A and B are shown apart, each in its own frame.
Chain A
């Protein structure tokens, strides 16, 4: 905005005036008549763009935006065609009128449509920009009205209206990213500039080349010596201001020149125009990139010419990014999303669990058991691979955001379970690893969207207090290991309770004793890491906020885990609980972990504001309700059994 003011001041505020000559946006509906070929897509998706505080591939921009709008990283059109995220973004940028007909906005409630005066069909959940066009004015008004309401007080429909309004803005910004490259000036009524620019409808790159000459004309006409030139300049810059408006929030894909004041922040196309007229030197590369984009726009209906133009643009921009040391991780990030490791690990965990189930029916088929092992190990490997790639891309330890915690905790649970299975060979821990691994990855997939909606990315920049890899690596990972242990102990306790309920291996004492020993070991594991992580968190707080312990909700959540498992261990040592009581308390331990992990973040109170979230309340309440029912069934069964003798003590 301030840069716009600079331009205005150059011409005494004349830019704000109504346009004398109407600009041309070349908005005629150009339809794409070919499929994007693989090389074009690859060139496009590996273009570097700066967003959310880091340089990331265009592929991530496309994927994240489509996921937010559509709920998926791919888009199914009405004719059944499926577009990948980069294909969709290519269309948005180069064939916007066509992209406006794609049903990419997911609307979950008809009440949203009613609120913006769009007829609800009752069947469709996906709408195109053009479908929503008649209601956009009303959407804007509704959005402004709802923004004034405290976010905690908004109902579900209001939240969805706000989201839709934001999505439409984002969509317009993506369209605007290239709109400025389509812009041409009308110089027919301004002969001075027509002569100077040599064209009736020059593009912006042409204008930029002649910037010095244009400024000379403006300077010479300022004192009233040449009113015609002065008026022509007014008209020209009026149009230019209009062009700048198109690109106020678009993509930042121009690396700044070495002469720029802020070397870290990449430029939008509009920033280049301002810099050029402000006399910033050494803009050759940026102007060449701009001209390439205009060229791309002109040849977009010819797939081969487009590909070759895109290749030239890609190579130039990649070379510039590489020279700045900002390109190295782009291919890695593209490959990470392409491999879709986390969903694939979910499928492997599910398959592993199914195979475990089959082995229960055919226990002598050892190859099935080893296949189950391979599947779970494969799922775990994919999970760890994904986490490692994310660490490399961000140059951060594995756990930074809430989404990271799900991935890390899931892989920790699977790893500990696999180690237990390897040690005990009782065929208990492997199915537990598979089912908890699948549940964790499913939850991660569902929560990813929530995090992207609030932070824009699951690898977003961190607030200043988190800018310390030492504490992030030690405190956050250890506390997450504590959570993992607590959840795994709860998972094993479920197995014990279910086995008792259905009389599984009823007379096999060693089975139940083995299970209890495992659970006990996992509780100790959880307590060790929870205590270390909690106190380490206090040490961090002492260095960043000036106090070791402040009774902040997040700190209290961690303390609750420590207190609960201390109660469990001491009650067991004192003989107040036996096997059954121990298992019930472990299930409650999982509830306590969920409270600490998610519950306190939903309160939106305290210093850990970077961890606040929403959208997980329903899942959390469902989890608690299921656990309460589980405990009631278990206790009920024990009562029905008539307390036939005490539950055995825990084997040492």
Chain B
């Protein structure tokens, strides 16, 4: 029998649809999960996610040594489509397996959608106050707006990805027709403090007006980092001003140019919500005789852009889902003045409910696939017993 000619495409398809690739990828994910978990002990969840699960490769001294989570999951998705849909025989008895594969592919796609499109952060509101934006836990931005000019309400915002690569000697110049100066940002530090320059420590970067950045070790919980940047402005007539922008600073840097005043602020990235939230009341219930919270919930009013008000209760395990944004009861506290505030985790994620749908598809598939085998097993056992009984009676 003549050997069948194999095309390159066919060979590639066989590889991508193979059981061995599936096993290899599952094992790689297994190893990644173990090391990604252990890595969290000393380096925190954010670092572990970035290094092991949200990466294409894990590198050591710049050399890729192991596939990252993104690569493994992408290949697994291809493997599932090639092997679990195309190569598999489309028969009634394989319905369960097909459903399981469909669910897993959708689950992986929902994860990918979240990584690419979601925005997440938190919103702290003091009782009776309102807010229509939430702040990122880890991403930063530099915002510039004009002071004392009611007409100029628009902010100019420089996003995180244009700041993070400005470490070491990196710098970037930003200009806008709305601004009478150029802004040069440099020396991005992930976690730092601002201190008066003294003989006992060496500041990271050039000091400004006797103050400098003290470089701190990144926190295990990355949301606790306070980033810093050097900022310089140059006006058209060559006048220069410089400042240290620091994430933990309460007040923005105020600069006066050509009789106009501007504020430049480094802060956590902000995202607008399609509605405003007013916290009417925060309620915390403790277990009787204990200081342990039994439940905590927030009575809020959701105010639409048209001004329509709707009372909503947000509590643990019962978030508010509205306009593509989900608000979860996350934490609470009280201000120095004794006013209670509530903290909500806020996520804008188009694939928010997909995993729930996948759950039922996968479960149905598994039940069909394993249920069929279980019934076959029971049938075989009863046949075996009947045969044994018949043999014993002879």
A interface residues (Cβ-Cβ under 8 A, vs B): 50-54, 252, 264-266, 423-425, 461, 463-465, 467-468, 471, 517, 521, 524-525, 527-528, 531-532, 535-536, 538-540, 542-553, 556-557, 559-560, 563-564, 566-567, 570-571, 573-576, 600, 603, 605-606
Contact = CB atoms under 8 A, between A and B. Distances in A.
A464 B33 contact: no
Contacts of B33: 556, 559-560, 563
Nearest to A326: B288
A545 to B, nearest CB: 7
Given A265-B289, A517-B377, A425 B385 contact: yes
Given A543-B319, A552-B45, A563-B30, 16 more contacts: A463-B292, A463-B293, A467-B316, A468-B316, A521-B373, A528-B370, A536-B359, A548-B111, A551-B45, A551-B48, A553-B40, A559-B33, A571-B23, A574-B22, A575-B19, A606-B45
Contacts of B29: 563
A525 B377 CA distance: 13
3 nearest A-B residue pairs (beta carbon) = A574-B19, A53-B287, A546-B345
Contacts of B287: 52-54, 461
B285 to A, nearest CB: 9
Interface string B359-392: 1001100110010011001100100010000000
B381 A464 contact: no
A621 to B, nearest CB: 15
Contacts, number: 168
Contacts of A542: 352, 355-356
Contacts of B208: none
B120 interface: yes
A600 B37 contact: yes
Nearest to B327: A546
Contacts of A552: 45
B355 A535 contact: yes
Contact of A539 (B120, B290, B359, B366): B359
A539 B355 contact: yes
Nearest to A548: B355
B296 to A, nearest CB: 6
Nearest to B289: A265
A556 B53 CA distance: 11
Contacts of B107: 535
A140 B319 CA distance: 46
A548 B26 contact: no
B22 A570 contact: yes
A557 B290 CA distance: 31
Contacts of B27: 563, 567
B41 interface: yes
A605 B349 CA distance: 26
A576 B36 CA distance: 27
A549 B111 contact: yes
Interface string B143-181: 000000000000000000000000000000000000000
B337 to A, nearest CB: 20
B255 interface: no
B120 A521 contact: no
A266 B288 contact: yes
Contacts of A252: 289
A339 B48 CA distance: 48
A466 to B, nearest CB: 9
B362 A535 contact: yes
A375 B48 CA distance: 49
A454 B355 CA distance: 35
B330 interface: yes
A524 B330 CA distance: 37
B393 interface: no
B347 interface: yes
Given A528-B370, A546-B319, A50 B288 contact: yes
Contacts of A51: 289
A53 B37 contact: no
B316 A535 contact: no
Contact of A546 (B18, B290, B347): B347
A549 B267 CA distance: 27
A423 B367 CA distance: 20
A606 B48 CA distance: 12
B295 interface: yes
B105 to A, nearest CB: 14
A521 B378 CA distance: 11
Contact of A551 (B22, B53, B345): B53
Nearest to B121: A546
Contacts of A546: 120, 319, 326, 328, 330, 345-347
B110 interface: yes
Given A539-B355, A550-B45, A525 B370 contact: yes
A327 to B, nearest CB: 15
B20 interface: yes
A533 to B, nearest CB: 10
Contact of A531 (B292, B330, B352, B366): B366
B370 A53 contact: no
A536 B22 CA distance: 24
5 contacts: A461-B294, A464-B294, A464-B316, A535-B362, A574-B23
A471 B316 CA distance: 12
Contact of B37 (A539, A557, A574, A575): A557
A480 to B, nearest CB: 17
B363 A573 contact: no
A54 B38 CA distance: 37
B355 A545 contact: no
B366 A532 contact: yes
B328 A535 contact: no
Nearest to B345: A546
B355 A50 contact: no
Contacts of A545: 328, 330, 345
Contacts of A532: 359, 362-363, 366
Contacts of B38: 603
B394 to A, nearest CB: 19
A559 B32 CA distance: 11
Given A543-B317, A570-B22, A531 B362 contact: yes
